[in-house]
């Protein structure tokens, strides 16, 4: 039996196309008979039979390569396996899941079943997907409000070089005053309400702390004191805005804050409740909180924090006395104001909280 291989027909192609056989499988052929048409990239060539005998065709059509055995001439013999032409790199059809090589290595390393991999429901499985499967710890997605808060604090950290200063205020006398004020105003007036109003009232003297950084060493001053106040009743952190708190009386500011607390408990904030602040007051009234560093909201220059009231033993004229104190913190954009401005601003706020008489004027 004579093997019938495709000769090398040119220098350019590494594969040809077997177009058609000119003799039938099993046909008797003579040496020199045209047997098969092979197409190269330039031309089509007829190949002649190398011997007399019976033609046994192994490759019927399609891709073929120089040197490939496509048939035989001789006594009819059984052809074991048809030669499968090389699978072209691009084939049609859908694969249910594609596993990258790094992912495959991890699957084998952890002995993860393919069913679990398929259950991921992804078309492409990467190493990180498999690593997640191999890790028994639960992964959860945070609620939308927290994800939004995350974006805000990241932006703040990325864009605002904030410094921090804190003062301690003695609010022993103020505590008594707030009870009277509350009764008189028929709404709750506590340190938080006083602080919001006290902060708002500083804009005339400290306009830079209510400004907005524009870049290139420029800031835009505010047209009113719009104080954002943190409210978190366990349903996510919200910062509703008390608008024009500098020109409104204390009881109006207090009533609006009470409305916001109610909204936080029962309803949902409207977009306009949450927009337009130019400074923020963050409340940390939970017992035992000594002081807190707030995050400066992107677009603001300053954020204040009010910690919880502490009992403090101080030296008195005769022996010791117990005073109530509270820490007020100020985080500020150091591009706009410096420590001195911050201390003066805090000092003014502190005085308002420490001298309750001023609220009665």
Partner 1 sequence: MRVAEHLNRSLHALMESDPSVHLLGEDVSDPYGGAFKITKGLSDRFGPRVMSTPLSEGGIVGVGAGLALAGDRAIVEIMFGDFATLAFDQLVNFAAKSTTMYGRRVDVPLIVRLPTGGRRGYGPTHSQSLQKHFIGVPGLSVYEMSPFHDAERLFGEIFASGTPAVFFEDKVLYTKPMLSGGDGLHTFELRDGWAVIRAEEDTEHVLLAPGGLTDRAVAALRDLLLEDEIACTLLVPARLHPLDVTPVADVLAAARRVHVAEDGTAGGTWGAEVARVLHERLWGRLTAPITHISAPDSIIPTAAHLEARCTVQPADIRRAINK
Residue showing tokens 């830079």: 208
Looking at beta carbons only, is 12 or 141 nearer to partner 1? Answer: 12
Binding flags for partner 1, 10-39, as an x/- string (CB under 8 A): -xxx-x-x---------------------x
Nearer to partner 1, 98 or 119 (CB): 98
- Compute how many residues bind partner 1; rule: CB under 8 A: 27
Q: Is 198 helix (H, G, I), strand (E, B) or coil?
A: helix
What is the Cα Rg of the chain in Å?
42
Return d(Cα 83, Cα 67) in angstroms, integer.
13
Looking at 91-99, 153-161, 246-254, 334-342, which segment touches partner 1 (CB under 8 A)? 91-99
Q: What is the dihedral of CA 86, 87, 90, 91, to 10 degrees?
A: 150
Work out which of 67, 80, 101, 137 binds partner 1, going by CB under 8 A: 101
Q: Which of 266, 269, 203, 181 is nearest to 230 (CA)?
A: 269
x/- map, 51-90, partner 1, by CB under 8 A: -------------------------------------xxx
Instruction: List the interface residues with partner 1, window 114-133 (CB under 8 A).
Output: 123-124, 126-127
Sequence-ordered list of residues with C-beta below 8 angstroms from that of 310, at least 6 positions apart, any chain: 290, 324, 325, 326, 327
Shortest distance in whole angstroms from residue 146 CB to partner 1: 25
CB of 248 to partner 1, least distance (A): 43
Structure tokens at 23: 């003799």
Looking at residue 171, what DSSP letter applies?
-
In the complex, least distance from residue 98 CB atom to partner 1, rounded to whole angstroms: 6
Within 10 Å of residue 323's Cβ, how many Cβ atoms? Answer: 15
Instruction: Give backbone dihedrals phi and psi of 103, rounded to 5 degrees, phi first.
Output: -65, -40
Query: Shortest gap between Cβ of 203 and partner 1 (angstroms)?
Result: 36
| Long-range pairs for 174-179: beta carbons < 8 A, 24 or more residues apart | 174/353, 174/354, 174/356, 175/309, 175/324, 176/356, 177/356, 177/359, 177/360
Cβ atoms of 328 and 346 within 8 Å: the answer is: yes
State the minimum distance, in angstroms, from the CB of residue 354 to partner 1: 51
Q: 92 vs 95, 96, 183, CA distance in Å?
A: 10, 13, 80
- Contact with partner 1 (CB under 8 A) among 1, 98, 150, 265: 98
Binding test (CB under 8 A) with partner 1, winner from 67, 75, 80, 93: 93
Query: Taking CB under 8 A as the criterion, which residues in 229-288 touch partner 1?
Result: none
> Residue 158, interface with partner 1 (CB under 8 A)?
no
Q: Distance between CA 66 and CA 88 in Å, rounded?
A: 17
**Residue closer to partner 1 (CB basis): 17 or 51:** 17
Closer to partner 1 at the Cβ: 126 or 335? 126
Phi and psi torsions of 212, nearest 5°: -130, 130
For residue 231, the 8-state DSSP code is B
Q: Which residues bind partner 1 (CB under 8 A)?
A: 11-13, 15, 17, 39, 41-44, 88-95, 98, 100-103, 123-124, 126-127
């Amino acid at each position: 039996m004579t093997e019938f291989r495709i000769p090398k027909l040119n220098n350019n192609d590494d594969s040809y196309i077997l177009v058609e056989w000119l003799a039938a499988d099993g046909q008797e052929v003579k040496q020199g008979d045209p047997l098969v048409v092979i197409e190269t990239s330039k031309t089509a060539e007829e190949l002649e039979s190398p011997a007399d005998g019976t033609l046994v065709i192994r490759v019927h059509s399609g891709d073929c390569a120089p040197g490939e055995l496509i048939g035989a001439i001789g006594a009819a013999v059984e052809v074991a396996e048809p030669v499968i032409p090389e699978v072209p790199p691009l084939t049609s059809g859908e694969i249910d899941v594609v596993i990258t090589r790094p992912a495959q290595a991890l699957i084998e390393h952890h002995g993860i079943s393919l069913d679990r991999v398929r259950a991921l429901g992804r078309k492409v499985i990467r190493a990180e997907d498999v690593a997640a499967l191999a890790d028994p710890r639960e992964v959860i997605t945070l609620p939308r409000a927290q994800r939004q808060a995350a974006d805000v604090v990241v932006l703040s950290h990325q864009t605002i070089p904030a410094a921090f200063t804190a003062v301690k205020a003695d609010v022993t006398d103020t505590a008594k005053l707030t009870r009277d004020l509350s009764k008189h105003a028929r709404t709750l007036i506590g340190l938080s309400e006083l602080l919001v109003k006290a902060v708002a009232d500083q804009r005339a003297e400290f306009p830079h702390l209510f400004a907005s950084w524009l870049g290139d060493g420029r800031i835009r001053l505010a047209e009113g004191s719009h104080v954002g106040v943190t409210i978190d009743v366990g349903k996510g952190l919200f910062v509703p805005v008390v608008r024009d708190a500098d020109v409104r009386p204390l009881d109006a500011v207090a009533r609006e804050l009470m409305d916001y607390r109610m909204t936080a408990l029962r309803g949902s904030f409207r977009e306009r409740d949450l927009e337009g602040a130019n400074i923020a007051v963050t409340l940390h009234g939970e017992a035992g909180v000594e002081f807190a560093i707030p995050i400066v909201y992107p677009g603001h220059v300053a954020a204040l924090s009010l910690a919880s009231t502490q009992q403090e033993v101080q030296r008195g004229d005769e022996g010791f006395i117990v005073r109530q104190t509270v820490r007020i913190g100020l985080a500020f954009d150091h591009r706009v104001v410096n420590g001195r401005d911050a201390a003066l601003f805090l000092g003014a706020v502190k005085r308002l909280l420490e001298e309750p008489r001023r609220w009665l004027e």
